[in-house]
């Protein structure tokens, strides 16, 4: 709690949060790791990735937050076992069934509460606009408005900004940046459906696989 330069990093356990961690450190901040359990099917595997990435970067402050109400409310294939995770369709222009309504606001609200308590000045979010499958709460315009809500809804002396270093990058560029920064891709987890080996068929696997292909790099998670 004593660091003058704490920044919270939202760490799902995927590649994007791992690259965000490396960028937080290179920006001169000490990362405090925040993971959200909202009842996603692969939570156990994600949590393992969260801690392995945390160990890799020697992260001291870690917090796992349960926002299980998102799962109790249903409405998304990521949290409702009655709705099947569909096969990937990267050309889909509609908001897919994996959209968890207003998920990022729930996550950010918890992050801001923690940030105000531990005096963290920034919240790093690995959101990617292009590859966000059209989720409305993954766009920079949403984060901009949410920053204003932080400014209005916290103590006058509290200043917390939301940093989205990957927001305009493609998966290919994220992978290239990660290679440059030597991030531990082998510790990350992206699949929405399986916890032992990536299913290769969900949106998240498809985006990851296309990214590695375009970057001309082998994904260490694939055989």
Q: Check binding of 154 to its own copies (CB under 8 A).
A: yes
Sign, CA dihedral 211-213-219-223, equals positive
Residue 31 CB, shortest distance to its own copies, in Å, is: 17
Distances in whole angstroms, Cα of residue 121 to Cα of each of 49, 85, 115, 140, 157: 25, 36, 7, 19, 11
Q: Check binding of 117 to its own copies (CB under 8 A).
A: yes
Q: Check binding of 95 to its own copies (CB under 8 A).
A: yes
Separation of alpha carbons 68 and 79, rounded Å? 9
Separation of alpha carbons 72 and 112, rounded Å? 23
Contact 19, 163 (CB under 8 A): no
Interface pick for its own copies out of 72, 90, 179, 197 (rule CB under 8 A): 72
Contacts of 26 (CB under 8 A, 6+ apart): 181
Interface pick for its own copies out of 55, 87, 90, 136 (rule CB under 8 A): 136
Q: How many residues bind its own copies (CB under 8 A)?
A: 43
Q: Check binding of 106 to its own copies (CB under 8 A).
A: yes
Interface pick for its own copies out of 105, 159, 218, 222 (rule CB under 8 A): 105
Q: Check binding of 173 to its own copies (CB under 8 A).
A: no
* CA-angle at 125, arms to 119 and 130, nearest 5°: 160
Closer of 25 and 63 to its own copies (Cβ): 63
| Chain residues that interact with its own copies, rule: CB under 8 A | 63, 65-70, 72-75, 95, 99-106, 108-110, 112-114, 116-117, 136-137, 139, 141-142, 145-146, 148-150, 152-156
């Amino acid at each position: 709690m004593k660091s003058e330069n704490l920044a919270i990093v939202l760490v799902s356990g995927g590649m994007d949060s791992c690259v965000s961690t490396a960028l937080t450190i290179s920006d001169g901040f000490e990362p405090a790791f925040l993971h959200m359990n909202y009842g996603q099917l692969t939570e156990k595997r994600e949590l393992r990735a969260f801690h392995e990435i945390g160990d890799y970067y020697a992260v001291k402050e870690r917090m796992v937050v349960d926002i299980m109400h998102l799962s109790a409310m249903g409405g998304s294939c990521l949290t409702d076992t009655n709705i099947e995770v569909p096969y990937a369709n990267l050309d889909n222009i509609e908001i897919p069934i994996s959209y968890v309504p207003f998920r990022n606001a729930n996550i950010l609200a918890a992050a801001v509460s923690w940030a105000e308590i531990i005096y963290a000045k920034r919240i790093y979010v690995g959101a990617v606009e292009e590859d966000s499958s059209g989720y409305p709460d993954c766009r920079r315009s949403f984060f901009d408005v949410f920053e204003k809500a932080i400014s209005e809804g916290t103590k006058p002396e509290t200043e917390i900004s939301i940093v989205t270093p990957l927001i305009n990058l493609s998966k290919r560029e994220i992978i290239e940046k990660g290679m440059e920064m030597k991030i531990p891709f082998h510790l990350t987890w992206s699949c929405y459906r399986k916890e032992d080996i990536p299913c290769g068929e969900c949106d998240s696997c498809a985006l990851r696989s296309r990214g590695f292909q375009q970057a001309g790099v082998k994904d260490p998670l694939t055989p």
